[in-house]
Structure 1
Amino acid sequence: MIPKLMKPTNGMLLEHLARYYFSTPYVKGRVLDIACGAGYGTHMVAKACKKKVEKIIGVDLDPKTIEYARKTYYHPLTEYRVADAQDTSLPQKLGRFETILSFETIEHLQDDRLFMRHLHEMLTPGGTLVLSTPFGKGRGKPCKCPFHIHQLTPEEFVELFEGFSEVEIFYQRGVTIEPPRKNVKYPLGVAVCKKEKG
């Protein structure tokens, strides 16, 4: 997604921006934005949280996308790197973080549990993870989006965070991110989780 090529009223763009804005109260220290894409969210958070952030590292699999991010969304607090979210040595390559952001990532990955172990390992004790994903028919089941391997059910989504000491689950509908309300169907889940302080 490249905001400069989209209308400012594009619903998908607004949903993505809403997730980054939502994350800002939780962001501090050394920050990882994994699967950062074009870098607009990494840049946005760097600007919004500049007094609380040491550095924000935006990571994506595609070298051309990372090059675009470096040229288009530079900020003194940002750094962009090419890395694979499913690389078994990812924690060793990237190090530890006080905050990790992962928006619309796990639905693209074959092994979302391995990815979650990586995120947990990369968080410092007491660190915060903010993660979102769209809901669907469940792990291992086909979905309508050709770019997604599968989409978790709301129940599977909650189970991802069993290794964390504190978990808050929110739901997104358009630009609204809120605790669940009765009789409302939500297409996306957003979790805010803390790692045990140790």
Structure 2
Amino acid sequence: MSNATLQSSGSATIRPEEARHFGALAADWWNPKGSSAMLHKLNPVRLSFIRAAIDTHWGADSDDLRPLSGKSVLDVGCGAGLLCEPLARLGATVTGVDAAEENIAAAQAHAEGSGLPITYRHGELGQLKPGQFDLVTSMEVIEHVADKRAFVTELAECLSPDGVMVLSTPNRTAASRLLLVKAAEAIGAVPKGTHHWEDFITPEEFAALLDEAGLEASVPKGIGFNPMKGLHISEDLSLNYIFTARHKG
């Protein structure tokens, strides 16, 4: 494993204040009852969607325990590796990239303790080899970057010609302002300062950026919540949404 630093080769997408905010949470990232508790609850929903995308894209057997064997995966905004580790267990060669050095250190330490050979890198995406990843994931990240267009362009450059991307983010709606920002911070579900509603992006805006970058987005699904089901994939896009993208043609 390595924790090399990536230097930007183009437009910087990292906001230093966002990196500092999430880096301060690094030591608590793997605590399911800590400051990242909501991510622990979100992770199974994300993984269910990713697994379905893998099976659809590559025609994998749904009973295969390692459908990503022989595949390279990039998780952008990986935090301390909550998504990288299960992707590695699905057979992938995984690289995780994050803006906060503290997160990369925590991710590397946890992966080593779990016996998982994951490569972690700190910094921008600009110096990763173009087209080298079969699967690119970026979950709840674009709302934190400085230049959304540049970020999407860099994501597209990382994806192999026949690869698939899975993306999720909060929607910019009245409901998300009330529930994901005001209420979530008021009750301590997320640390204060985690979300800035004006930086949220709608599905239409996201799809337009992907189109400019030569990618075609799928119809998004919502990530909803109710007391009976908890967090789950739904048709309601008012809070969070998740979807796939592929190169056109």
TM class by smaller structure? 0.7 to 0.9
In the alignment, residue 21 of structure 1 is paired with which amino acid? S
State the SS of the aligned residue for 1:161.
Answer: helix
For residues 29-72 of structure 1, give each alpha carbon's deviation from its aligned partner in whole angstroms, at most 9, with x where no partner exists.
1110011001121001111x11xx2x100111111211111111
Deviation larger for 27-36 or 157-166 = 157-166
Name the structure 1 match of 2:140: 104
**Cα deviation, residue 103, structure 1:** 0.2
Q: Does 1:127 align with 2:163?
A: yes
State the SS of the aligned residue for 2:200.
Answer: coil
- Backbone CA RMSD of aligned residues: 2.6
In the alignment, residue 223 of structure 2 is paired with which amino acid? Q
For residues 132-173 of structure 1, give each alpha carbon's deviation from its aligned partner in whole angstroms, at most 9, with x where no partner exists.
1001259xxxx9473445011233233233232462321111
- Tell me the distance in 2 between the aligned counterparts of 1:21 and 1:93: 27
Q: Which has the higher strand share?
A: 1
Name the structure 1 match of 2:11: none
C-alpha contact (below 8 Å) 2:32/2:40 kept by paired residues:
no
Name the structure 2 match of 1:82: 122
**Cα deviation, residue 196, structure 1:** 3.3
- Tell me the distance in 1 between the aligned counterparts of 2:75 and 2:135: 9
Name the structure 1 match of 2:232: 176
- Tell me the distance in 1 between the aligned counterparts of 2:167 and 2:216: 15
Name the structure 2 match of 1:34: 76
- C-alpha change, 1:189 and 1:5, in structure 2 (3 Å) is closer
Name the larger-Rg structure: 2
- Tell me the distance in 2 between the aligned counterparts of 1:188 and 1:5: 20
Name the structure 2 match of 1:21: 48
In the alignment, residue 243 of structure 2 is paired with which amino acid? A
Count matched residues: 178
- Tell me the distance in 2 between the aligned counterparts of 1:12 and 1:79: 21
- Tell me the distance in 1 between the aligned counterparts of 2:237 and 2:139: 20
- Tell me the distance in 2 between the aligned counterparts of 1:113 and 1:164: 13
Name the structure 2 match of 1:164: 215
Name the structure 1 match of 2:108: 70
In the alignment, residue 109 of structure 1 is paired with which amino acid? V
- C-alpha change, 1:126 and 1:165, in structure 2 (3 Å) is farther
- Tell me the distance in 1 between the aligned counterparts of 2:76 and 2:117: 16
**Cα deviation, residue 124, structure 1:** 0.9
In the alignment, residue 156 of structure 1 is paired with which amino acid? E
C-alpha contact (below 8 Å) 1:168/1:193 kept by paired residues:
no
- Tell me the distance in 2 between the aligned counterparts of 1:100 and 1:34: 7
Q: Does 1:146 align with 2:173?
A: no
In the alignment, residue 85 of structure 2 is paired with which amino acid? H
- Tell me the distance in 2 between the aligned counterparts of 1:110 and 1:125: 26
- Tell me the distance in 2 between the aligned counterparts of 1:67 and 1:185: 34
Larger RCO: 1 or 2 (CA < 8 Å, sep 6+): 2
- C-alpha change, 1:148 and 1:160, in structure 2 (3 Å) is farther
Which ranges of structure 2 fall in alignment gaps of 5 or more residues?
Answer: 1-27, 55-67, 175-179, 182-191, 226-230
Name the structure 1 match of 2:172: 136
In the alignment, residue 224 of structure 2 is paired with which amino acid? R
